[in-house]
Structure 1
């Protein structure tokens, strides 16, 4: 039996999904997307998981869409299927972190952008090379990249096909944090654990709120927030009680 193309490992509420074609620099195929999609659908209904980290095995996150597959003519289940898969991941009711080291080019960048944010190793390199190969994006680059870095910067990256390093990615807002390679795994886990300390109810509600009001004007966004407030979570009383007990104990 062949090894899985996307591995899932669970650890105390954290699910790590690993793109697993290290011998091919995790270049993205239909088969890999099929496995990623299955994991995402499973995670939608798995209440034991409060945070997801998406990363790559071996030397890099992913070198991008497998050009061999493109040249041979991929057979996808339906038009827009890749984009739909990433949208499913983007709309998971729990935080998703893209942990990027090494290459993250074109299709791989589209995958990473579908996470809530990117944490980058100082070895990470990013780029959009659609124009280099006379291709146009259909996995979400034209929509997510300008929302992350601004329209002018997105145009610069898309038109030049330039590669940028982790520090430049941080400067333009593509990556949220840059970490030294020797501390990368530790930093990713620590970040995920800080997220897991907080309410999964709030995480899910906040994701829905941010999604619904993205690009709205301020007044309609504020109105949406009031009218569609999801209230308090089932863990609110327990969290407040735990804090109160801790505060009282600290005073004695």
Structure 2
């Protein structure tokens, strides 16, 4: 896993590297580099377990998700695919995308290399993506006779538009980082050595927000995006009343002062 400037207190897994930061975020790296971080049964089980533990940790408000080695993830581990396709049903056990969506804080994907099929579905489930110039994205499901089952078709079409989603899915072609940025698939493209620092910078900025409001705003954006305009506005009004009724003036003033102090410090 690429090293950041504030990673510490590692937790051991066989297929993951996890490090918590004192700045309110944790980094999770898929760690099967010799297998291009393919999503074995063991990795998926550990991933679901790890994200549940991180969700329960009040010191972790934001996640950064990346891959060890030269790939983010090349998708399912076909070495575990039986002759009669029995993995097809098992693929929905220990669903990594569901685990990501169940994390209530922001999840930042730091895409270091290849993100293909199931690996692309994991990337698409993140709240935003930072990509290395070495990142490549591909949906080759149709070319190996499979269909996505972790929400890839839905999220891809919503993120980049139906026409571009069809092009990517039905041709199976590989999308480079700069084109992914142009298409709106990723938020930032940086050189490989800047990938983790950039992702951690964003994580640190997000983790500085009021914890419960951070979660509530993510929920508001996610749920509102799936609603019509009137329903989305009603949701915003309801959640705004619930949240803002708990905010007293002294707390707001203290948070404004802390925010100004952070900005002054960062501008030096």
State the TM-score, normalizing by the size of structure 1. Answer: 0.89
| 1:176–1:247 distance in 2 versus 1, CA, 3 Å | closer
Task: State how far apart, in whole Å, the 1-side matches of 2:239 and 2:175 are.
Answer: 40
SS in 2 for 1:139: coil
The answer on 1:49 being equivalent to 2:64 is no
| 1:45–1:247 distance in 2 versus 1, CA, 3 Å | closer
- 1:28 corresponds, among 39, 49, 63, to 39
In structure 2, the partner of 1:182 is 193
The answer on 1:15 being equivalent to 2:26 is yes
Query: For the aligned residues, what is the CA RMSD?
Result: 2.5
In structure 1, the partner of 2:254 is 241
In structure 2, the partner of 1:222 is 233
SS in 1 for 2:71: coil
Q: Shift of residue 16 of structure 1?
A: 0.7
Q: How does 1:76-115 map to 2 (within 5 A)?
A: 80-83=92-95, 85-115=96-126
The answer on 1:192 being equivalent to 2:171 is no
- 1:231 corresponds, among 221, 243, 250, to 243
| 1:236–1:104 distance in 2 versus 1, CA, 3 Å | farther
In structure 2, the partner of 1:4 is 14
Task: Structure 1 unaligned segments of length 5 or more: list them.
Answer: none
SS in 1 for 2:140: coil
| 1:92–1:242 distance in 2 versus 1, CA, 3 Å | closer
Task: State how far apart, in whole Å, the 2-side matches of 1:10 and 1:20 are.
Answer: 16
- 1:165 corresponds, among 176, 195, 208, to 176
In structure 2, the partner of 1:155 is 166
Q: Shift of residue 71 of structure 1?
A: 4.3
| 1:203–1:154 distance in 2 versus 1, CA, 3 Å | same
| 1:163–1:245 distance in 2 versus 1, CA, 3 Å | closer
Task: Structure 2 unaligned segments of length 5 or more: list them.
Answer: 1-11
In structure 1, the partner of 2:133 is 122
In structure 1, the partner of 2:154 is 143
Structure 1 range deviating more: 230-239 or 128-137: 230-239
Task: State how far apart, in whole Å, the 2-side matches of 1:247 and 1:106 are.
Answer: 43
Q: Shift of residue 43 of structure 1?
A: 1.8
Task: State how far apart, in whole Å, the 2-side matches of 1:115 and 1:247 are.
Answer: 29
SS in 1 for 2:20: strand
Deviations 1:177-213 (A, max 9, x none): 1011122222122111111222222210012212222
SS in 1 for 2:74: coil
SS in 2 for 1:216: coil
Structure 1 range deviating more: 36-45 or 223-232: 223-232
